[in-house]
Amino acid sequence: MEHGKHIELLGVPRTATPADVRRSITRAGLQGVVDVAIDYHRFLPSGKALLTLNDPQFLRDNIRNLERLTVAGLPVKSRPRLLRDDEAAPSRMRGVKGRAEASERGIVTGNGPHAGITNCERHVVIKGLPGRISLQTLENTLRSYQLAETRGGRPRIVKVPLPKDVFTMYSRFLVTLKSEAEAHRLVRDLHYTYFDQKTFGTKHRLFARVVY
């Protein structure tokens, strides 16, 4: 357990990016912040963020400076947080087989700071797809985008497993792009559009977000 090196922010707007949070804490005069992580639940923002300090000596003064913090004009609360080492170790999800096995075991949950993954801002979560859509169908749908690939040449796409005992007719996927710019382009093109409208009509409205 690491003591005194993390601060949790509560009430962070779900549209806020790490850059938005960093601007706010810079104005507040915080010191020693080496990482700003948006907290996620199944790859969607939870309304919290985690600040990591390079030295515990900054904790007390930083907490005091955060008393009147606002992000995007909204008041945000703060508190010290104890973070276990395993909470700070993101999954690398290497290889098609490794990602598939992780998905089957529910490891690729998208929970926690940075959603528990590396290479943030190159990942896009797509929500609202048909529940039984195949990876091949999604790959074909996204073929005009520069998808990151495994060593075997397969696109880096993984299905986000449902929580236990939850049923839905929709599915959620995590897609990795070759660059941050391409990830943002994918979101601009897909967000709030309908999947295969000729077949499904307006049944499957898509929600796409960059994971920070």
| Domain harbouring 24, CATH code | 3.30.70.330
49 pairs with which residues across the strands? 9, 38
Q: What is the pLDDT of residue 86?
A: 58
Domain final position from 53, 88, 123: 88
Residue 176 has pLDDT above 50, yes or no: yes
Q: What is the pTM of this model?
A: 0.84
Q: What is the pLDDT of residue 3?
A: 57
Mean pLDDT (whole number) for 117-132: 94
Calculate the CA dihedral of residues 134, 136, 139, 144 and round it to 10 degrees. -130
Specify whether 72 is located in the same domain as 107: no
> What would the two tokens of residue 199 be?
């077949």
Q: What is the pLDDT of residue 119?
A: 81
Q: What is the pLDDT of residue 45?
A: 97
CB 177 within 8 A of CB 186: yes
CB 102 within 8 A of CB 169: no
> What would the two tokens of residue 110 be?
């998208």
Sort strands 123-130 and 170-176 into parallel, antiparallel or unpaired. antiparallel
State the Cα–Cα distance between residues 156 and 177, nearest whole angstrom.
8
Count of domains forming the chain: 2
pLDDT bracket for residue 167 (50, 70, 90): confident
Specify whether 59 is located in the same domain as 115: no
> How high is the mean pLDDT of the chain?
89
73 is a domain residue: yes
pLDDT in tens, 49-106: 999 999 999 999 999 999 999 999 999 999 999 876 556 555 544 444 444 444 334 4
Mean pLDDT (whole number) for 14-25: 98
CB 75 within 8 A of CB 9: no
Specify whether 45 is located in the same domain as 80: yes
Q: What is the pLDDT of residue 157?
A: 95
Residue 189 lies in domain: 96-211
Residue 152 has pLDDT above 60, yes or no: yes
Q: What is the DSSP string of 100-129?
A: HHHHHTT-----EEGGGBSSTTSEEEEEEE
Q: What are the two backbone dihedrals, phi and then psi, of residue 83, each rounded to the nearest 5 degrees?
A: -120, 125
State the Cα–Cα distance between residues 202 and 108, nearest whole angstrom.
29
Mean pLDDT (whole number) for 23-30: 98
1 is a domain residue: no
State the Cα–Cα distance between residues 158 and 22, nearest whole angstrom.
30
Residue 179 has pLDDT above 90, yes or no: yes
State the Cα–Cα distance between residues 175 and 89, nearest whole angstrom.
20
Specify whether 170 is located in the same domain as 107: yes
How far is residue 138 from each of residues 84, 105, 122, 150, measured CA to CA in Å? 36, 21, 18, 16
Domain final position from 62, 88, 114: 88
Mean pLDDT (whole number) for 160-178: 91
Specify whether 84 is located in the same domain as 103: no
Mean pLDDT (whole number) for 40-48: 96
Task: Give the rounded percent of residues in the chain with a pLDDT score beyond 90.
Answer: 78
Q: What is the pLDDT of residue 129?
A: 98
Q: What is the pLDDT of residue 89?
A: 52
